[in-house]
Each structure stands twice: as structure tokens, then as C-alpha cells.
Chains A and B, each alone.
Chain A
Amino acid sequence: DAGVTQSPTHLIKTRGQQVTLRCSPKSGHDTVSWYQQALGQGPQFIFQYYEEEERQRGNFPDRFSGHQFPNYSSELNVNALLLGDSALYLCASSFRVGGYTFGSGTRLTVV
């Protein structure tokens, strides 16, 4: 039973560019959440998708957007990248009250 898969594992982008991160949830999970984890800090909630709609959103600007597809996979898009967007981006999937399963994250470096 595959867990949560995130791609890519690492990437480097230039300030001002746009980036798309991808997440495939654990089999049987229908809800995907995204978190940003700065180096040495705890993860911060970005948003959550369920039934292809954004259901909850954290304190992140509109430059952060997402999408969920009919197969429950999800994308996180960040526009106009800033140096401060450099972080580990974690995807977590869940199903009802079964608990979260986290992926290993995408390490984004903005230069």
C-alpha cells in the first residue's frame, strides 16, 4: 500500500519564477493538506483540499494556490517566488478520522 508520494524531492528556482509541486495521496485517502516547513521550524498549514475544493486555508498570500484532481492527487502552485519561500513543503493525506499520512516533502530553494 503506497504512502504519500511527493515530487520532485528537491528543486531550485530563481526569485520571481513560478513553481508547481505535486502530491499523490495514500491509497484510500480523499483529503490532501499542504504545509510549509522553514528550516528548523514547525510546519505551517497552507491549505486543505477535499472534493476538489479548497476547504481550509492558513495565513498564506494568494501567491499560494492549489488544485485537487478527481483521482485525489493535488498540486501546490507558488507564483512570484520570494527568497522567503525557501522551505520544505509537506503534503499530508487523510480520510475522515483515520489520521494524517505525511510525504517526505519537496525541498524548495529560491535563489
Chain B
Amino acid sequence: AQTVTQSQPEMSVQEAETVTLSCTYDTSESDYYLFWYKQPPSRQMILVIRQEAYKQQNATENRFSVNFQKAAKSFSLKISDSQLGDAAMYFCAYRSAQSAGGTSYGKLTFGQGTILTVHP
């Protein structure tokens, strides 16, 4: 079974500064996807960024980028130029690339989450 670990229960950052959230995972699979989701007080999970394990290049989405270290099973999220709207709970998640149950989009395994506070 796969596990995802986020070792930072809480992080804080000053507005306009950079912060990095950590995530490690454990799997015996070679092909999988990794995600960072943001959950604001509205409770809806919002996809921040996605990384395919077979791609060596780190994913980037505007101010958000990841540092994907496959051998170390590490997947950190860097938020640059932090904004007040970035304050939320952030979850790292894993999904196998193998189809399951006849569907091609299997379950997500989430970490425990990191609460990010942005100070003005």
C-alpha cells in the first residue's frame, strides 16, 4: 500500500516571500502521479499542481513549482511571491498510474496536510 507523509503540520510565510512545503511518499510502483491540492476554508479541494513520475522535469504552474526527487521519494511544493490568498491547508496526494476496477482514474492517497499561514 502507498503512504504519503507531510511532516510539517503548520508553516508560515510573509507576503511576497517564498515558502516550501515538504512531502514524502512510499510506493513500490514505478509509474504514478503526484499532486498538491489546496483546501481553503470553503472546503473545496483545488488542484495546485500535478507531476507525472515518468517525467524528470519538475512541474511548474505560475508561482507554484515542485521539486520531484523520484529516488528519494520526495515531492516538495515551492510557492513564490506568496499572497494572502495562498493561505489554506495544503495536501500532497498520490495516485497509481495503473487502472483499477475498470476505471482509469483510481483513488487518491492523501497526506495529513500542512496549514499555511500568510502574514501581511
Q: Hey, which chain A residues are within 8 Å of B42, CB to CB?
A: 104
Is the pair B44, A104 in contact by a Cβ cutoff of 8 Å? yes
Q: Give chain B nearest CB distance to A59 CB in angstroms.
A: 9
Is the pair B107, A58 in contact by a Cβ cutoff of 8 Å? yes
Is the pair B101, A56 in contact by a Cβ cutoff of 8 Å? yes
Task: Encode contact with A along B86-120: 1 for CB under 8 Å, 0 otherwise.
Answer: 00000101000000111111111111110000000
Task: Encode contact with B along A41-75: 1 for CB under 8 Å, 0 otherwise.
Answer: 11111001011011110100000000000000000
Q: Hey, which chain A residues are within 8 Å of B50, CB to CB?
A: 99
Stretch at the interface among A12-20, A77-85, A90-98: A90-98
* New contact pairs (7) apart from A45-B109, A92-B45, CB-CB < 8 Å: A33-B108, A43-B45, A45-B108, A55-B102, A58-B107, A94-B103, A102-B44
